Structure 1
């Protein structure tokens, strides 16, 4: 599941020019990357445990 964060004011600037990256852009990228890493970790743990219900309590 991806988390979507909408931040006002990160769209095109005056006259249609794209504004330079902002702090909001940085954190949006971090959240997207964290979500992708979490999905890969889940897949990896499922492979290691031999079940789709991966986690520390699964045996």
Structure 2
């Protein structure tokens, strides 16, 4: 199943993704549902990397068996 992405007004910098299925994880049922929240962040500039590329940082993950 394709993932659904959404944001909440209360957390405007966090993007949530909901996906149904085991995602290839062994031992998880096909009705498994995963919710992941990510926020764009960067590492501090260094001498070697003066302009670091923004990266998605996982700030929340929950999984459970759905219906």
> Could you tell me the TM-score, scaled by structure 1's length?
0.22
Q: Which has the larger radius of gyration?
A: 1
Between Structure 1 and Structure 2, which shows a larger proportion of helix residues? 1
Between Structure 1 and Structure 2, which shows a larger proportion of strand residues? 2
